[in-house]
Amino acid sequence: MTGSKELLALIRSCMESIQILSGRSWREVSPDECPSDRLDGFDSYASVETTTEIEKRLGKKLTADTVFYNGKNALTLREVCDRVESLLATPT
């Protein structure tokens, strides 16, 4: 990844793939929206599946089961992107 815009696009693409594969509709999510609030059925299970898809596409294991929640708090898409960037910068 070379920038936040590319990472944001990758995360959106992963969310869209998981939504479609699970038979749910896709809606665009703005950076200031929480995917769990915007997308039908985007629960903790879907967030783990999407995190796994992000790892697969990046070719790197992240040290979090899901990047879409901080504890019980749902993150905005911008916060998700920041979290992934932070995890990528952390040595494993």
Q: What is the mean pLDDT of residues 81-88?
A: 95
Q: What is the mean pLDDT of residues 65-72?
A: 94
**CA nearest to 46, candidates 26, 63, 31, 61:** 26
Burial of 14 (0-12, 13-18, 19+ CB in 10 A): buried
Give the Cα-Cα-Cα angle 39, 43, 48 (nearest 5 degrees): 110
C-alpha distances in Å from residue 5, one per residue of 71, 78, 82: 25, 10, 11
**pLDDT tens per residue across span 15-66:** 999 999 999 999 999 999 999 999 999 999 999 999 999 999 999 999 999 9
pTM for this prediction: 0.92
| pLDDT on residue 2 | 46
CA dihedral sign, ordered 26, 52, 59, 1: positive
| pLDDT on residue 1 | 45
Question: What residue has token string 């796994």?
Answer: 52
Domains of the chain (ranges, CATH numbers): 4-89 (1.10.1200)
| pLDDT on residue 90 | 83
